[in-house]
Amino acid sequence: MQKLLKLDKERDQQPVPGLLVIDNVGSDNQSYGATREYLRAGFPPGSRIMVTSRGHNIVESLLQDTRFCKPVPDLTDEEARTVFLNIAASGTSVFTLTDADSKRILGLCVNQCRFSVDGAFRSDAQYHPLALKALANFCQSEEFRKRSLSSWEEELKAFNQGSCPGLFDILELQFTSMDRETEQLIFLDIALFGREWYLTGGSGWWSWLAQLHNTDSESVKRVVSIFLCLDFNVVKLFS
């Protein structure tokens, strides 16, 4: 924030347009208040600002002109398949899947990730991006033992057990697919204590985690790098 305010004072001397992206603004005082401060800093002409939030009313209250408040468009079938394959089978393109069986199995996977606003599965609902990422991460993990599309269908049948899983069942796969119990425990410690530690300006975070789990700081950092690859937002403060 201090750097941004400094840029605000210097913008008349060096009026270079900038880009500011503020993601996932919440209604809590910290998230909403910090965003308001950023927007008040002022930017040179030609600058672009993007604010994302799960609440349309939040964005409307932050921006002066509501004409620019746009809902995120739904993912198309091709986009959903591309997102899934980029994670589950990196290097495989939707356009390289030529046989009908591979396309069918891929369709089964992404169609597991259709959820309504209340989190209930619905075959005609839009694709949920986080669910696509969670299921894709599970498909490329060691739990699957293979990274071929032919193995995915059997695992999906075992996972479904005759019924369609809910949104949080899909999201939980990303946690349960961690290879070792230690990784799960480190993640839980970050989720439970990390935010408070960060906000209070605590030091020695890595050494504290290392001591707690009877390991060294570098090992903890390697585990956190795995979380970042899985796109766990809760650990991005500590990367």
Poorest-confidence range of 17-31, 70-84, 87-101? 87-101
**Under the phi-then-psi rule, with left for phi > 0, alpha for psi from -120 to 50, and beta for the rest, what region is 50?**
beta
The answer to whether residue 232 scores a pLDDT higher than 80 is no
Q: What is the pLDDT of residue 145?
A: 41
What tens digit of pLDDT does each residue of 84-131 get?
888 877 766 666 666 777 788 888 889 889 998 777 888 889 999 888
What tens digit of pLDDT does each residue of 33-51 get?
888 888 887 788 888 888 9
User: How far apart are the C-alpha atoms of 138 and 144, rounded to whole Å?
Assistant: 7
The answer to whether the beta carbons of residues 65 and 28 sit under 8 Å apart is no
What tens digit of pLDDT does each residue of 170-226 get?
888 777 777 677 888 888 888 787 766 655 555 677 788 888 888 888 888 888 777
Q: What is the pLDDT of residue 42?
A: 75
pLDDT band at 7 (very low <50, low <70, confident <90, very high): low
Q: What is the pLDDT of residue 165?
A: 73
* Domain layout of the chain by residue ranges: 2-68, 77-176, 181-238
pTM for the complete prediction?
0.63
Q: What is the pLDDT of residue 144?
A: 45
User: How far apart are the C-alpha atoms of 52 and 43, rounded to whole Å?
Assistant: 19
User: How far apart are the C-alpha atoms of 170 and 137, rounded to whole Å?
Assistant: 11
Helix, strand, coil shares of the chain, percent, nearest 5, are 60, 5, 35
Top pLDDT among 48 and 238 is at: 48
